[in-house]
Structure 1
Amino acid sequence: MNILSKSAFAAVFSFGLINQSIAAECIAPANPGGGWDFTCRSITKIMSDIGAYDGSIQVTNMAGGGGGLAFTHVVNERNSDDDLIVAASTATATRLAQNAYSGMTADQVRFLGAIGADPGVIVVAADSPYKNLNDLLDAV
């Protein structure tokens, strides 16, 4: 079992314990073909391949508001749905933690785990006085 499969299994182990006669769903809060769509499709395949879930897992694309539309939908209409996974990025998790979605907080969702993360970078001009992150933080 490769490391991605092991990570995915750890992240969604409890999901595999649900009533498998019900079709599960993974919401990709973006249009088809993007990163979140790929994440949902990968998770559903991995869960099937490792036997964590035998039923069908539907992928639903729900674009809008940088993940905000899907977050609103889950909090208001599917909050107790144990057969639901929502793909999210590091940026979405940060927005949730900062309560950037009006009227909702990160406490209204359950985080299962992370199977990957997007690296972030800070770029300055080549002639900038900031040569490293500590220089920049000291100036702020």
Structure 2
Amino acid sequence: METQDQPTGKRRRVPRAAQLVIGAVASVAMIATLTVTGLEQRSDAASGYQAALGGRQLSIMAPANPGGGWDQTSRAVQASLADIVGRSEVYNVGGAGGTIGLPQFVRHSGEANELMVTGAIMVGAILTNESEASLEDVDMLARLTTEYLVVAVPASSPIQTMEELGDAMAADVGSVSIAGGSAGGVEQVLAGLIAQAVGADPAQVSYVAHSGGGEALTTMLSGSSTAGISGISELAPYIADGSMRALAVSSPEELETLPGVPSLRESGIDVELQNWRGIAAPRGLEDDERAALVSMLDEMRDSETWRQILDDRGWGDAYLTGPELEAFIDEEQQTTEQVLRSIGLVD
């Protein structure tokens, strides 16, 4: 590197050490500029989110008791938004597949700081419970995750395989009790579809419904039911420690998260079913408020915290917003109603 003296124009060589210092200073200056720019952009985004929230703390309703998939999802959203909007609150309103919490949530019309986790279970529960409110009464912001279900028995059960459980259901479906989540939810739908696939009457399934995943787990672990159905993330710890024995998963094939556990189809039962969970806001938001909330969820979806939670829990990244989400919800409602009618859960 050379510099030009003033005013003679003679050039002098800069020592190598000085060149390195100059280069390092330039690099630091560039990094500092980029960092400041990034912080400014981050600050602008955070300010936009806070403006949409009206300066109030974000509240997230889990419309189920603690311990289940909606509760886990609500707290995963809370953790993933901590660096984006700061502190938030999760509260539980359990019962009836979310149809106790849903009417309460609807009353928050126009309040952008109120969110609710929802999903496939609520779609079915709205129909089976003849709910006074439906998903038409909320503003669906995003579909977040998908998850397959596990059919399992307590470790002390004499049932060793899914084939054995299917045979028992075919012989006397009413004598085989199956514990799961709320009535009309995906767990009961799966129980009905399994019964139908083995030639039993799905309307005669002895299904033991619970308000939350934690309660269902208590029934399963105690051996009070023949078998249980729940999401992978809820049962995986108990399968891993040997408390529960997984018989099959509702995926098309064996999953990496449950090695050695066959799918229902691999067990000779032609059934596949996937749960999904999403997040909604109340109706009545301003366009800019809604756009800010979706942008907030976009940022959450791309965060390292959220990606790590998906990996840890075995949840599928099913992020969907906008018109595609609206089309998905419409199709899901129609399909769920058809399935519930086919297995006799609704008239």
Query: What's the counterpart of residue 83 of structure 1?
Result: 113
1:105 to 134, 144, 169: 134
Query: What's the counterpart of residue 42 of structure 1?
Result: 76
Q: CA deviation at 1:99?
A: 9.1
Alignment check: 8 A CA contact 1:30 1:62 kept:
yes
Q: What per-residue deviation string (whole Å, max 9, x for no partner) do you get for residues 87-106 of structure 1?
A: 1121213445x595433332
In structure 2, how many angstroms separate the alpha carbons of the residues matched to 1:65 and 1:115?
Answer: 22
Q: What per-residue deviation string (whole Å, max 9, x for no partner) do you get for residues 4-34 of structure 1?
A: xxxxxxxxxxx94623631110011111222
My pick for the range that moved more, 100-109 or 85-94, is: 100-109
In structure 1, how many angstroms separate the alpha carbons of the residues matched to 2:100 and 2:123?
Answer: 14
* TM-score normalised over the length of structure 1: 0.64
- How well do the aligned residues superpose, as a CA RMSD in angstroms? 3.0
Q: How does 1:1-140 map to 2 (within 5 A)?
A: 16=49, 18-19=52-53, 21-49=55-83, 51=84, 53-54=85-86, 56-75=87-106, 77-96=107-126, 101-119=130-148, 121=190, 122-123=193-194, 124-125=197-198
Q: CA deviation at 1:111?
A: 0.4
Between Structure 1 and Structure 2, the one with more helix by share is 2
In structure 2, how many angstroms separate the alpha carbons of the residues matched to 1:111 and 1:21?
Answer: 22
Distance 1:16 1:114, change over 3 A: farther
Query: What's the counterpart of residue 137 of structure 1?
Result: none
Specify the SS of the correspondent of 1:107: helix
- AA in 2 matched with 1:44: Q
Distance 1:39 1:16, change over 3 A: farther
Q: What per-residue deviation string (whole Å, max 9, x for no partner) do you get for residues 27-49 of structure 1?
A: 11111222211111100111124
Specify the SS of the correspondent of 1:33: coil
In structure 2, how many angstroms separate the alpha carbons of the residues matched to 1:65 and 1:99?
Answer: 9
Specify the SS of the correspondent of 1:113: strand
Specify the SS of the correspondent of 2:115: strand
Distance 1:94 1:111, change over 3 A: farther
Distance 1:66 1:32, change over 3 A: same
In structure 1, how many angstroms separate the alpha carbons of the residues matched to 2:118 and 2:73?
Answer: 9
Question: What percentage of residue pairs aligned between the two structures are identical?
Answer: 20
- AA in 1 matched with 2:57: A
In structure 1, how many angstroms separate the alpha carbons of the residues matched to 2:123 and 2:131?
Answer: 15
Q: Which protein is bigger by CA-based radius of gyration?
A: 2
Query: What's the counterpart of residue 5 of structure 1?
Result: none
In structure 2, how many angstroms separate the alpha carbons of the residues matched to 1:82 and 1:101?
Answer: 27
* TM-score normalised over the length of structure 2: 0.28
Q: Which runs of 5+ in 1 are unaligned?
A: 1-14, 134-139
Alignment check: 8 A CA contact 2:57 2:89 kept:
yes
Q: CA deviation at 1:79?
A: 2.2
Alignment check: 8 A CA contact 1:31 1:61 kept:
yes
Alignment check: 8 A CA contact 2:98 2:125 kept:
no
- AA in 2 matched with 1:73: Q
